[in-house]
Amino acid sequence: MLDALLLLLGYNAALVTIGAALLGVAAGTCGTFLFLRKRALVSDAVAHATLPGIGLAFIVMVLLGGDGRNLPGLLAGSAITAAIGLLLVEWIARRTRLAEDAAIGAVLSVFFGFGIVLLTVIQTMTSGRQAGLESFLLGSTAGMLFQDAVVVAIGGGLAVALVYLLRRSMTVVAFDPEFAAASGTPVRRVDLAMMGLVMAVTVIGLKLVGLILIVAMLIIPPVTARFWTDRTDRVLLISGIVGGVSGYVGAALSAALPNVPTGPIIVLVCFALFALSLLFAPNRGIVAAVIRQQRFRINVHRRQGLLALARGEPILDRLTIATLRRAGMARKDGVATDKGRAAAARALRDEKRWQIARSIYRDEMASGRYDGLTPIEAVLTRDEIAEIDRRIGGPTAVGESP
């Protein structure tokens, strides 16, 4: 495995690994705005629409005297039918009452069915090299040549460059198409450019991961990146990195393990990165959410316990007592320590402060931010707190918080 990661397993293995990494970067980057535009299913329709183009290109090349396996010809055919499918989806969604998802379902199923029929017809032909043509469904790297890697590198590089040039208009259209239209941005053209870039990556990725699995490479990286940041430029960067790492590691695993298909392994590695992000991302991950929820519960019990101590009320909840004990504010029997009595006094003082604040700022945002846990110093200014303390006759020091 280490030899595979270091590109020491031979020329072909290194070629496939580098090509898969470049494809991953392009797919992750180009799929970002499609995901942000909430049009992830469009990539599925585009991918499935490539199949009849492959079949038709093979038949045409055989009729012209070739063997039908010329890769540029097959990719050109897939690009033509993918573009037709893309335009059909856009036309149906814009000119009829059907929703976009219904248009995608119709185009996807019809084109894919037509492609399967063409592949069946091709298998009955007496001329041409039909063997292995079905590998475009799930991808195959066994016969990958240097020129194939060059196609992936050049095509992916151009796609990433175009995304970078159009990123501002794509960002506006993805988040607020109405504002984009009002500000003069050609929304329809930007949408078509967005989907055209996805189509380009889909076509160049057919050889490596196939038309079925390329959808995963377009969508999973930006979804993964979204767990780590809220900024579009960072989502673009992280998505490209996730796609590139998935392609590189997946291809290396496939080279190191015999009889393991490259495309599915790449997708599984990509999903593994998604699962890790889902669990451990610092802001949106499940573990972080559980920790925040636990901290919130502890703060609630702490606040309620301190108020109960300040009012001389018995604390009946065991978790509240345990929370105060861990903070050194109460003994096992629920009696407050010196630290607990001081904290309880501050909590009761802030509770009174908030009561006055709600009456003063009744129609302002500050009064709506009270949740019993947020320190009053995080909402009001020192002068405002001093005025509240003057009204209630309490202390004027505002640097303390419970």
Closest alpha carbon to 151 in 208, 189, 103: 208
Give the sign of the dihedral formed by CA 230, CA 231, CA 233, CA 238. negative
Task: Report the alpha-carbon distance of residue 178 to residue 176 in Å, rounded.
Answer: 5
CB contact at 8 A, 127 and 105? no
Structural tokens at position 252? 């290396």
Q: Within 10 A of 321 (CB to CB), how many other CB atoms are there?
A: 19
Task: Report the alpha-carbon distance of residue 281 to residue 288 in Å, rounded.
Answer: 7
Structural tokens at position 389? 């303390």
State residue 290's pLDDT score.
Answer: 94
CB contact at 8 A, 44 and 112? no
Task: Report the alpha-carbon distance of residue 320 to residue 325 in Å, rounded.
Answer: 9
Task: Report the alpha-carbon distance of residue 249 to residue 17 in Å, rounded.
Answer: 8
DSSP state of 336: B
pTM: 0.80
Largest CA distance in the chain: 99
Q: Residue 397: left (phi > 0), alpha (psi -120 to 50), or beta?
A: beta
| pLDDT tens digit at each of 402 positions of the chain | 777 777 777 777 888 888 889 989 999 999 999 899 888 888 888 888 888 998 899 888 888 887 777 778 888 898 999 999 988 988 888 888 888 888 888 888 999 899 889 888 888 877 766 666 666 766 666 556 777 778 888 888 898 999 999 999 999 999 888 888 898 889 888 988 888 898 888 888 877 777 778 888 999 999 999 999 989 999 999 999 999 999 999 988 988 887 778 888 899 999 999 999 999 998 899 999 999 999 888 988 888 898 888 888 888 888 888 989 988 998 888 888 899 889 888 888 888 888 887 777 665 555 555 566 777 777 778 888 888 888 877 544 444 444
Residue spans of beta strands (DSSP E) within 233-311: none
State residue 242's pLDDT score.
Answer: 96
Single-letter residue type at 16: V
Beta partners for residue 336, in sequence order = 330
Q: Measure Cα distances from 316 to 304, 313, 325, 334, 365 in Å.
A: 11, 9, 14, 9, 35
Task: Report the alpha-carbon distance of residue 287 to residue 289 in Å, rounded.
Answer: 5
State residue 362's pLDDT score.
Answer: 63
CB contact at 8 A, 373 and 299? yes
Closest alpha carbon to 236 in 245, 226, 227: 226
Q: Measure Cα distances from 44 to 47, 55, 101, 252, 262 in Å.
A: 5, 18, 11, 26, 20
Single-letter residue type at 152: V
CA atoms within 13 A on the CB side of 112: 15
- Give φ, ψ of 396 to 5 degrees: -100, -5
| Radius of gyration in angstroms for the set of CA atoms belonging to the chain, rounded to a whole number | 30
2-281 CATH fold: ABC transporter involved in vitamin B12 uptake, BtuC (1.10.3470)
- Each domain of the chain, given as residue ranges in start order, spans 2-281, 287-392
